[in-house]
Structure 1
């Protein structure tokens, strides 16, 4: 059982969803790849002070039932619609989509426009991000599609990772910290599996999706240092990626009448909702005000 929330029957699977607060519009968090609903619990708790707030785990991640990964964006969007209905969370919703979750938020909004009151995209992936990427980047991305080729972590590596994760989750509630650390150690391949089709199949879904509905939209670019990205890529590649991302995010925000682009120079890609929780909460509050 999940440390918070409960499992809801959706089709032939059970999905973890946790809701607190009251009123509307409800704010729904869509995790990035490798993250789960409880990664956003601190921000969720603050949002729940002013409206209904929802975190959940997609099938195949977190405390939801297993599912073959990767999945199409259409399947994830339909699943989210179903679990919100089964959990009796009334719409329309303010969707907060982070990274890969931003992709799914866009596809949900395109498919269910009447169920969306606002969109906050936290450093979202964009389908044209690698259009002009150097071959070095494309080669590494291709290698990362094969997590099954990576060796299991040794006992020493697991212990080192546990120490690092314990520090990372130090600000999380006690009843959440331990289960989150255990989950991360047991499922570190999930992030690589879940976005395995991101650069082709899911990107094509975005290109062919209907336009976003005319709802308030805020796109936040995390342009600060990110330890994971720094470990994967050279400084030059990170710099060029940030430049490309800034341009794409600005264009995405400008694609709707009430779109706005904001930049955080002091937050990285992985946890902008923790590094600049104040800015994320401010954006959510702005969207709630506009939606109401």
Structure 2
């Protein structure tokens, strides 16, 4: 996960940093060594440009994975292989990110959906689809499910972004500043101007902007894959794509998501929410608890859009639940598939999944 603008945007950037406070408590993870992440898996022409699509497995419904902001197919390296044992699965790099070609369109949720839907058609990956989205990808899968309702049988949203999170965060911050005036004057790290830093073609490794703009990798990824991923993410193409997604997140993409339906009938919607975080130094626990309640309420609202909707609070996890607790994501996908195909009933609403 990139640390850039996390405070302001409340967990929308997520390039691969899974070094959370819960890492020591979570089970040991397998090393990610699949060479597919060293280059494009399949470049699918969607009309004059190509999208990197990584599909494996067989079986319907097909499971389609959308990563969070500034992230790529590797976001699902600990989840996709398990699901592909029983179902067709596809992850992809959004336009300009990873090994996908750049686009001349803004990085919005609707454009993301348009791209992946075209890619699935070209690649002959037929519906029905179960959609899985992490962070900002959680908004895009709702746009997809709304636009192609007859093709979608369920959604699993992993600590998903919400169209109102920025406005509610601002309201919460105003209240906090009134309670603790020092918060209104706290230092905010300057924007590292990532696109400018990459103007030579890529951000140099010795640039002070490199780590803030590129991020940090989950420690279980093979070094060769880490090096290749960072080289791709440091490129000007990727930095421009991320900047466009960032610029549109709270405006165009939020409006596109806000315009989607509020009733998905009995389509299973399983929300996964990261564990409550301890209060940072200098912040009263009551204030931190209020922050937790706001985030959980946003997810509860999405779960309430279905009679088969549920929000699971995932212990020992940070925002990157797909890295911290991939087994929970796998369980949620399998349960959503079982409900969608009539093999299981509605999930229990619980706030303490194992």
Give TM-score, length-normalised by structure 1.
0.83
How is 1:238-277 mapped onto 2 (pairs within 5 angstroms)? 240-269=290-319, 271-277=320-326
Take 1:45 and 1:202, find their aligned partners in 2: how far apart are those partners?
A: 30
The CA deviation at 1:170 is: 4.4
Q: CA separation in 2, counterparts of 1:177 and 1:285?
A: 29
Aligned residues of 2:195 and 2:243 also touching (Cα < 8 A): no
Unaligned runs of 5+ in 2: 1-36, 178-182, 342-354
Q: Is the 8 A contact 2:94 2:100 kept in 1?
A: yes
The question of whether the paired residues in 2 share the 8 Å contact of 1:25 and 1:91 is answered with yes
Question: What corresponds to 2:334 in structure 1?
Answer: 285
Is 2:99 aligned against 1:47? no
- Residue number in structure 1 paired with 2:228: 179
Q: What 5-or-longer segments of structure 1 have no aligned partner?
A: none
Q: Distance in 2 between matches of 1:120 and 1:174?
A: 30
Assess if the C-alpha contact under 8 Å between 2:75 and 2:322 holds in 1. no
- Is 1:204 the counterpart of 2:255? The answer is yes
- Aligned residue among 230, 255, 275 for 1:223: 275
CA distance in structure 2 between the aligned counterparts of 1:225 and 1:189, rounded to whole angstroms = 32
Higher Cα radius of gyration: 2
> 3-state DSSP class of the match of 1:54?
strand
1:66 aligns with 2:66: no
Q: Is the 8 A contact 1:225 1:267 kept in 2?
A: no
CA positional deviation for 1:159: 8.4
The 8 Å contact of residues 219 and 260 in structure 1, kept in 2 or not, is answered as: yes
Q: 1:280/1:155 Cα in 2 relative to 1: closer, same or farther (>3 Å)?
A: same
Q: CA distance change for structure 1 residues 189 and 120 in 2, over 3 Å: closer, same or farther? A: same
Pairwise CA RMSD of aligned residues? 3.4
Shift of 1:208: 1.9
What is the deviation of 1:77?
1.3
Q: Using the TM superposition, give the Cα deviation of residue 38 of structure 1 relative to its aligned residue in structure 2, in angstroms.
A: 2.0
Structure 1 or 2: more helix by fraction:
1
Distance of aligned partners of 1:64 and 1:246 in 2 relative to their CA distance in 1, 3 Å threshold: same
Q: Does 1:76 align with 2:112?
A: yes
Shift of 1:12: 1.6
Alpha carbons 1:100, 1:195 under 8 Å: kept: no
Aligned 8 A contact 1:33 1:100 in 2:
yes
What SS does the corresponding residue of 1:197 show, helix, strand or coil? helix
Deviates more, 1:99-108 or 1:58-67: 58-67
Distance in 2, matches of 1:202 and 1:160, equals: 26
CA contact (8 A) 2:38 2:225 kept: no
Shift in Å, 1:50: 1.9
Q: For the Cα contact (< 8 Å) 1:6–1:18, is it kept in 2?
A: yes
User: CA shift at 1:216, angstroms?
Assistant: 0.7
- Pairwise mapping of residues 84-95 of structure 1 onto structure 2 (< 5 A)? 84-95=120-131
Q: What's the CA shift string for 1:189-214, capped at 9, x where partnerless?
A: 65343121111222112222233533
User: 1:196 is paired with a residue of what secondary structure?
Assistant: helix
Q: Secondary structure at the match of 1:251?
A: helix
Secondary structure of 1:34's counterpart equals coil
Aligned residues: 282
